[in-house]
């Protein structure tokens, strides 16, 4: 992915992020210094929206375009309409809530994240980001804070990719990396014939709102998210500014063998894809330790279904992660070598596909600096270990993220947790980041 920030001039100072950056806050008085949200209201929203969930004790299971996703979307629509926002839904279901600024010729400053969760996920991943955006809009209105640029709160569709693959389903269309047709055709991870398009249609969330940056440009994109690792916790900080991300790549390996009777077929000579896949999965674990990265098998599907068949086809979906781009690529190459080796051992054939690939990178320095100054002493610089919709918007506009401390770094689990005060700090930092960026825009225009 390429950074899109070259069009923005830097003021030439070194910020807390350690990057050369501008220092607009030192030149202009800002409303950002004293801004704070209503943390109690945000906390109530977090728990209120968590009720729209499939069975998931302690957590939230709200899969893209399921009934609960529809409910939380309807609620979000009602909240932003009550604020007087201009509301749109686009063809891939993403919700936009725009509030006027004092100069509506400027592209709006966006605050976005996602309401969809993984299966047996938590209350915070995604939802916190959208609810912080909503809380900022509410607090700005209550506190009569008016930005020069318009603002837009965004609920991006299918960030997780947990029901329909691939993830970042709508923001990649917005960034020109995918198409509406491809996003609609996203297939079910559980093998059902439903697609993201058919399910969005079913819940009434295929709209005529803007689909791409070109149709609806933004000045910047800011996103609050739980950290999902432990840097903030270890540093004793409630929030952080996200400087960039580690690299990650998803692969699919499909092994093809031979059908046979589970009881009667001799051991030697079998072409058992599940035994091949077992050795392949073990090799991925070893690979991660050898390379100082991480690897996870996220899905294994084998067939034929039954209680008396040698498994003649097995699909293994996995991801590898590394902070270094070359090492990330090497992990993929070595994984493929393992697939070849187990295929030779078990006389299998295999297909190999790289489905998503993201080299490590950095967010836009001037946007990161806005977040860093918004965090102040409450924060530190951090890096995300996974993908977010902000990686899509970064291709088109200055982008940065606010991290909120995660207890024990646990996420994608019912045990996911961030304290009330930390969530409020995150929302306040989001509002301040937006105000900082609005100041920056004003400075740039002069």
Q: Which chain residues interact with its own copies by CB under 8 A?
A: 61, 118-120, 160-163, 165-167, 189-190, 228-229, 248, 250, 258-267, 272, 274-275, 277-279, 281-282, 285, 288-289, 294-300, 302-312, 317, 319, 321, 384-387, 409-415
Residue identified by tokens 């009602």 is 78
Name the token pair of 274: 């599940």
Least separation in angstroms between residue 356's CB and its own copies is 9
Least separation in angstroms between residue 385's CB and its own copies is 4
Least separation in angstroms between residue 334's CB and its own copies is 16
Taking the least distance from each CB to its own copies, the nearer of 38 and 189 is 189
Name the token pair of 256: 């093809």
Q: Are 225 and 286 in contact (CB under 8 A)?
A: no
Taking the least distance from each CB to its own copies, the nearer of 283 and 393 is 283
Which contacts qualify for 329-337: CB closer than 8 Å, 24 or more apart? 330/291, 331/249, 331/287, 331/288, 331/291, 331/293, 331/295, 332/249, 332/251, 334/287, 334/291, 335/251, 335/253, 335/283, 335/284, 335/287, 335/295
Short-list 409, 326, 397, CA closest to 367: 397
Name the token pair of 75: 């609620």
User: In the sheet that 313-322 helps form, which strands lie side by side, from edge to edge?
Assistant: 294-303, 313-322, 247-256, 349-358
Q: Is 73 left (phi over 0), alpha (psi -120 to 50) or beta?
A: alpha
Taking the least distance from each CB to its own copies, the nearer of 78 and 285 is 285
The residues with which 301 forms a beta bridge, in sequence order, are 315
Least separation in angstroms between residue 80's CB and its own copies is 28
Least separation in angstroms between residue 41's CB and its own copies is 28
Taking the least distance from each CB to its own copies, the nearer of 159 and 442 is 159
Half-sphere exposure of 207 (CA within 13 A, CB side): 16
Beta-carbon contacts of 120 under 8 Å, excluding residues fewer than 6 positions away, are 56, 59, 61, 412, 413, 414
Least separation in angstroms between residue 419's CB and its own copies is 19
Taking the least distance from each CB to its own copies, the nearer of 49 and 386 is 386
Least separation in angstroms between residue 67's CB and its own copies is 17
Beta-carbon contacts of 166 under 8 Å, excluding residues fewer than 6 positions away, are 172, 186, 250, 355, 356
Least separation in angstroms between residue 340's CB and its own copies is 18
Q: Are 65 and 203 in contact (CB under 8 A)?
A: yes
Q: Are 442 and 148 in contact (CB under 8 A)?
A: yes
Name the DSSP class of 111: E
Radius of gyration of the chain, Cα coordinates, nearest whole angstrom = 23
Tell me whether the omega of the peptide bond preceding residue 304 falls within 30 degrees of 0, making it cis: yes
Taking the least distance from each CB to its own copies, the nearer of 11 and 297 is 297
Taking the least distance from each CB to its own copies, the nearer of 104 and 282 is 282
Residue identified by tokens 């318009």 is 150
Taking the least distance from each CB to its own copies, the nearer of 230 and 444 is 230
Short-list 248, 211, 378, CA closest to 322: 248
Least separation in angstroms between residue 431's CB and its own copies is 26
Taking the least distance from each CB to its own copies, the nearer of 120 and 393 is 120
The residues with which 164 forms a beta bridge, in sequence order, are 188
Taking the least distance from each CB to its own copies, the nearer of 89 and 342 is 342
Least separation in angstroms between residue 310's CB and its own copies is 6
């Amino acid at each position: 992915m390429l950074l899109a920030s070259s069009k923005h001039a830097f003021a030439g100072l070194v910020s807390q992020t350690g990057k050369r950056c501008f220092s607009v806050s030192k030149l202009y008085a800002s409303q950002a210094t004293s801004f704070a949200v209503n943390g109690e209201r945000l906390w109530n929203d977090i728990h209120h929206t968590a009720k729209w969930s499939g069975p998931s004790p302690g957590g939230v299971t709200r899969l893209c375009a399921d009934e609960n996703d529809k409910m939380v979307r309807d609620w979000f629509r009602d909240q932003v309409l009550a604020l007087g926002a201009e509301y749109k839904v686009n063809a891939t279901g993403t919700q936009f809530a725009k509030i006027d600024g004092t100069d509506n010729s400027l592209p709006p400053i966006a605050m976005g994240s996602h309401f969809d969760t993984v299966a047996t996920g938590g209350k915070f991943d995604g939802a916190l980001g959208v609810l912080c955006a909503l809380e900022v809009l509410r607090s700005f209105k209550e506190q009569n804070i008016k930005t020069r640029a318009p603002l837009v709160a965004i609920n991006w569709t299918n960030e997780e990719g947990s029901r329909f693959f691939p993830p970042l389903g709508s923001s990649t269309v917005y960034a020109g990396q995918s198409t509406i047709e491809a996003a609609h055709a996203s297939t079910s991870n559980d093998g059902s014939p439903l697609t993201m398009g058919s399910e969005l249609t079913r819940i009434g969330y295929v709209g005529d709102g803007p689909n791409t940056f070109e149709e609806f440009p933004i000045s910047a994109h800011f996103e609050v998210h739980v950290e999902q690792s432990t840097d903030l916790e270890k540093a004793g900080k409630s929030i952080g500014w996200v400087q960039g991300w580690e690299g990650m790549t998803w692969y699919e390996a499909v092994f093809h063998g031979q059908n046979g009777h589970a009881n009667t077929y001799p051991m030697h000579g079998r072409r058992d894809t599940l035994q091949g896949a077992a050795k392949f999965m073990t090799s991925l674990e070893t690979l991660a330790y050898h390379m100082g990265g991480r690897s996870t098998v996220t899905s294994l599907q084998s067939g034929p279904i039954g209680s008396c068949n040698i498994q003649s086809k097995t699909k293994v979906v996995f991801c590898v992660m590394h902070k270094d781009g070359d090492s990330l690529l090497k992990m993929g190459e070595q994984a493929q070598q393992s697939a070849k080796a187990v295929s030779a051992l078990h006389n299998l054939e295999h297909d190999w596909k790289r489905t998503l690939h993201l080299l490590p990178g950095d967010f836009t320095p001037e946007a990161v600096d806005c977040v860093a100054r918004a965090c102040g002493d409450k924060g530190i610089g951090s890096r995300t270990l996974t993908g977010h919709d902000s990686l899509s918007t970064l291709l088109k506009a200055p982008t940065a993220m606010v991290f909120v401390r995660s207890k024990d770094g646990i996420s994608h689990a019912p045990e996911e947790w961030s304290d009330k005060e930390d969530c409020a700090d995150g929302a306040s930092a989001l509002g301040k980041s937006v105000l900082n960026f609005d100041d920056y825009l004003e400075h740039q225009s002069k």
